[in-house]
Amino acid sequence: MKNNESWDWEINASTKWFDWHLREIISYKDLLFRFVRRNLIASYQQTILGPFWVFIQPALTTLVYYLIFGKVVKISTGGIPPVLFYLSGILFWSFFSDCLNGTMYTFLQNANIFNKVYFPRLVVPVSNVISHSVRISIQLLLFILIYVYNLVTVGLYGNYYILLTPLLLLLTAGFGLGAGLIISVFTAKYRDLDYALQFILRLFMFATPVVYPASIVPARYQLLFWLNPLTVVTETFRAAYFTHEPVHYLRLAFCVIEVLFLLVVGITLFKKKELKIMDVV
């Protein structure tokens, strides 16, 4: 007899390189938002101040950077109020770092779940990025409050490029997600990579204009400096909120290409290895 049974899912030993099945994430949207809710709640459980840490962390970091780099080292901020200068860099760097760190441990931190039940593995890293997107959206309110205060008292410059803010957040999230997906495959197999990557991540922060403006970078390093997507994102954000200078669309377009490339490579590698990698975790 001919078997006419139809299957909702089919799990094979191997998958094609570009067989992403992204529609499954939509089918599991309820699970996705449950993971988001879990991440947000778990972050501040058993803390005295709870959700207020969303504001306290960037505020304290900004204060430390202001005292060290602004008062002691006296690095120029290019005419931008120091508090806003450091806060803008901290917000985007922290967002990227959180997305990357939360994604790169996908297999290691969820091995027990992955070995017991099937669901699209991409749900976990995507939920991580959404969770951190909620946090930075709230933290941007702190930035806006300080910005409006300085707009009234100091007289800052701003232009319509402020409307690019959602795009800059998407690029940062995509950069963290794409890089994190690639790294997650290797950290699951080679545990010592974790120590090296944490060291590299700290160095990478100083290759990003978090505590200094791009204008102080020597000309011979400018090309390499602007290849960093976070450099483009951070400097575009500052140009939109603090100057009348036009946005460098060529750099922004190249940044979009870089992030899309990382996402394609990251998702492809993640989906290709997601079944086999569980044998070595």
Check residue 154 and give its pLDDT. Answer: 76
- Calpha distance 240→242 (Å, rounded): 6
- Calpha distance 105→102 (Å, rounded): 6
Q: What radius of gyration do the chain's Cα atoms show? A: 21
Distances in Å between the alpha carbon of 7 and those of 4, 11, 23, 215?
A: 10, 10, 16, 59
- Stretch 17-30: mean pLDDT, rounded? 75
Give me 16's structure tokens: 């094609």
pLDDT mean across residues, the chain: 85
- Calpha distance 263→256 (Å, rounded): 11
Question: CA geometry: angle at 148 spanning 145 and 152, to 5°?
Answer: 140
Instruction: Tell me the per-residue pLDDT of 160-205, one tens digit each, with 9 for 90 and over.
Output: 889 999 999 999 999 999 999 999 888 887 777 878 888 888 889 9
- 40 has pLDDT over 70: yes
pLDDT-above-70 percentage for the chain: 89
Check residue 192 and give its pLDDT. Answer: 72
- Calpha distance 200→210 (Å, rounded): 16
Return the domain boundaries, the chain.
Answer: 50-279
The sign of the CA dihedral 162, 103, 227, 234 is positive
Check residue 168 and give its pLDDT. Answer: 96
Would you say 228 and 208 are in contact if contact means Cβ atoms under 8 Å apart? Answer: yes
- Stretch 105-127: mean pLDDT, rounded? 84
Would you say 172 and 236 are in contact if contact means Cβ atoms under 8 Å apart? Answer: no
pLDDT band at residue 50 under the 50/70/90 scheme: low
Instruction: Tell me the per-residue pLDDT of 198-257, one tens digit each, with 9 for 90 and over.
Output: 888 888 998 999 999 988 888 898 888 999 999 999 999 999 998 877 788 899 999 999
> Residue 272 is which amino acid?
K
Would you say 138 and 44 are in contact if contact means Cβ atoms under 8 Å apart? Answer: no
DSSP assignment of 118-130 equals ---TTHHHHHHHH
Distances in Å between the alpha carbon of 86 and those of 64, 102, 192, 206?
A: 10, 24, 33, 13
Q: What is the pTM of this model?
A: 0.87
Instruction: Tell me the per-residue pLDDT of 55-72, one tens digit each, with 9 for 90 and over.
Output: 888 889 999 999 999 888
Which one has a higher pLDDT value, 22 or 108? 108
Instruction: Tell me the per-residue pLDDT of 92-101, one tens digit each, with 9 for 90 and over.
Output: 999 999 999 9
Check residue 1 and give its pLDDT. Answer: 45
Residue 24 belongs to what H/E stretch?
A: helix 23-27
The DSSP symbol for 57 reads: H
Which one has a higher pLDDT value, 17 or 131? 131
